[in-house]
């Protein structure tokens, strides 16, 4: 109450001293000020009300995401690996030591300042160079640093020990998605791209008003799947710029650098879903390349691998296949939605520096090799990335799609063999 009154007085004063304030010609000064104050009070009250509503809806709208962030989470997450637990322990260990030192040092300092102040008649000591003090303030911090460094080094060394892995997976960062390739162990040969769920992307694009989705911007089409209690070594690299593969609950975080390989590892101790994100600022959609790790029991994992291998075999395209226009355009529509729509938009109109494909000369050109060239090599110094990692069939399909969608009605059909020939 008192606060509100003094706030009113302070604001009233502020209004009076504001330069060039027109107080109005008709009513006397006091009345206008009073009106102004009333208006201000009402504005204040309604903003508080709005804040309150916002806070209460924010509190009810989303729930903790198991394996991901919690609502108003402050502490580190509950780890699902030994390393993550040790990291959390180290965090608290260091924090407590630092807090104790902070309180002790500042306690002594303020005590000394207050007790020995001049107004109490304290006379300063005049000694110089106390050997005892010098030794104490060298040795004590040294011991504290060693005490902190020992357990920290142990954990860092364990974190870096990627030997004897049961499973090796390469994680490649792309702008803005992750590619996972199973290199060694059960599931060897599998490989897929993991992209943000399209529906959530649309929600975000349209302003994300009132979303209440627990895994908002963390849902992907194809999660990284690993077995429980097995050491998974993750090799990280990138295709374009530096990204970072990080999953807090698994205690991993490793930069993914183009042209280099780095590695990290984790052994998940319970099944479930764990979420992370790219943690190196990598461009405009840095926040839109989530990581979802699905930890399965040994049997479920084997079943998943078998299923994926079957799917892979069925999907294995014959690069010599000659496609009909309708079929390849249908296939291309999917490739476009997964890889191109993020930049060129579903309507093919692009945005800003991203050129429109609807009506583009290179897309309409009778020489189909022109567009094949753009897709294989990129354009605009990498602003348009190269897509040579897509299969001949996918590339042929997406090019055929762009040539026969929106207002583009060329009737041209690009076959996988055309792409294959252009690769050389």
- Tokens 């002790």 belong to residue: 104
Find the binder of ligand HEC among 108, 383, 388, 409 (CB under 6 A).
Answer: 383
Q: Residue 282 touches which of Cu ion, ligand HEC, none (CB < 5 to 8 A by kind)?
A: Cu ion
How far apart are the C-alpha atoms of 365 and 399, rounded to whole Å? 12
How far apart are the C-alpha atoms of 387 and 395, rounded to whole Å? 8
**Minimum CB distance to ligand HEC, residue 206 (Å):** 19
**Residues between 274 and 313 that touch ligand HEC (CB under 6 A):** none
**Residues between 183 and 242 that touch Cu ion (CB under 5 A):** none
Give the contacts of 338 (CB within 8 A, at least 6 positions apart): 193, 195, 221
**Is residue 282 near Cu ion by the rule CB under 5 A?**
yes
How far apart are the C-alpha atoms of 96 and 106, rounded to whole Å? 15
How far apart are the C-alpha atoms of 374 and 350, rounded to whole Å? 16
**Residues between 166 and 195 that touch ligand HEC (CB under 6 A):** 175
Query: Which of 398, 347, 403, 408 lies closest to 376, judged by CA?
Result: 398
Torsion of CA 157, 162, 165, 167, to 10 degrees: 130
Q: What phi, psi does 347 have (nearest 5°)?
A: -85, 5
Find the binder of ligand HEC among 170, 233, 355, 368 (CB under 6 A).
Answer: 355
Instruction: Return the number of other C-beta atoms located less than 10 Å from residue 193's C-beta.
Output: 17
Q: What phi, psi does 58 have (nearest 5°)?
A: -60, -35
Closer Cβ to Cu ion, 280 or 394, answer by number:
280
**Is residue 340 near ligand HEC by the rule CB under 6 A?**
yes
Closer Cβ to ligand HEC, 293 or 384, answer by number:
384
Query: Mask: binding to Cu ion, 252-281, rule CB under 5 A, as x and -?
Result: --------------------------x---
**Is residue 243 near Cu ion by the rule CB under 5 A?**
yes
**Minimum CB distance to Cu ion, residue 239 (Å):** 10
Q: Residue 379 touches which of ligand HEC, Cu ion, none (CB < 5 to 8 A by kind)?
A: ligand HEC
From residue 118, alpha-carbon distances to 82, 112, 176 in Å are 55, 12, 64
**Minimum CB distance to ligand HEC, residue 176 (Å):** 8
Q: Residue 243 touches which of Cu ion, ligand HEC, none (CB < 5 to 8 A by kind)?
A: Cu ion
Torsion of CA 271, 273, 279, 282, to 10 degrees: 130
**379 three-state secondary structure:** strand
**Is residue 402 near ligand HEC by the rule CB under 6 A?**
yes
Q: Residue 268 touches which of ligand HEC, Cu ion, none (CB < 5 to 8 A by kind)?
A: none
Question: What residue ranges bind ligand HEC (CB under 6 A)?
Answer: 175, 339-340, 342-344, 353-355, 357, 360, 362-363, 371, 374-375, 379-380, 383-385, 387, 398, 402
Q: Which residues bind Cu ion (CB under 5 A)?
A: 243, 278, 282
């Amino acid at each position: 109450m008192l606060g509100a009154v003094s706030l009113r007085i302070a604001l009233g004063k502020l209004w009076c001293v504001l330069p060039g304030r027109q107080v109005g010609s008709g009513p006397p000064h006091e009345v206008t000020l009073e009106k102004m104050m009333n208006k201000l009070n009402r504005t204040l009250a309604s903003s508080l009300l709005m804040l309150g509503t916002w806070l209460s809806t924010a509190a009810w709208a989303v729930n903790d995401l198991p394996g991901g962030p919690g609502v108003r989470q402050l502490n580190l997450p509950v780890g699902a690996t030994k390393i993550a637990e040790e990291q959390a322990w180290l965090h608290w260990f260091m924090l407590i030591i630092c807090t104790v030192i902070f309180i002790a040092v500042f306690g002594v300092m303020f005590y000394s300042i207050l007790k020995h102040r001049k107004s109490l008649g304290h006379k300063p000591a005049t000694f110089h160079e106390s050997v005892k003090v010098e030794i104490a303030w060298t040795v004590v911090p040294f011991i504290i640093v060693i005490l902190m460094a020992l357990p920290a080094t142990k954990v860092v060394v364990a974190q870096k020990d990627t030997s004897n892995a049961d499973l090796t997976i390469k994680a490649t960062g792309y702008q803005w998605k992750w590619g996972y390739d199973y290199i060694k162990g059960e599931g060897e040969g599998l490989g897929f791209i993991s992209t943000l769920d399209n529906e959530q992307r649309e929600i975000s694009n349209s302003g994300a008003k009132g979303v209440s989705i627990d895994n908002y911007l963390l849902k992907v089409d194809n999660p990284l799947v690993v077995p429980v209690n097995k050491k998974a070594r993750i090799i990280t690299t990138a295709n374009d710029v530096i990204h970072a593969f990080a999953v807090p609950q698994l205690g991993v975080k490793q930069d993914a650098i183009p042209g280099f390989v780095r590695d990290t590892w984790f052994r998940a101790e319970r099944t479930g879903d764990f979420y992370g994100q790219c943690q190196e600022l990598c461009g405009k959609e840095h926040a839109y390349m989530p990581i979802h790790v699905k930890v399965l029991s040994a049997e479920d994992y084997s079943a998943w691998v078998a299923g994926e291998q079957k799917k892979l075999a069925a999907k294995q395209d014959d690069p010599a296949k000659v496609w009909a226009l309708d079929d390849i355009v249908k296939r291309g529509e999917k490739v476009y939605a997964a890889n191109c729509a993020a930049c060129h938009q579903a309507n093919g109109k692009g945005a800003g520096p991203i050129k429109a494909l609807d009506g583009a000369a290179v897309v309409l050109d009778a020489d189909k090799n022109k567009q094949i060239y753009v897709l294989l090599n990129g354009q605009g110094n990498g602003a348009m990335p190269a897509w040579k990692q897509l299969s001949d069939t996918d590339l042929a399909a997406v090019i055929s799609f762009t040539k026969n969608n929106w207002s583009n009605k060329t009737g041209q059909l690009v076959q996988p063999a055309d792409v294959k020939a252009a690769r050389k």
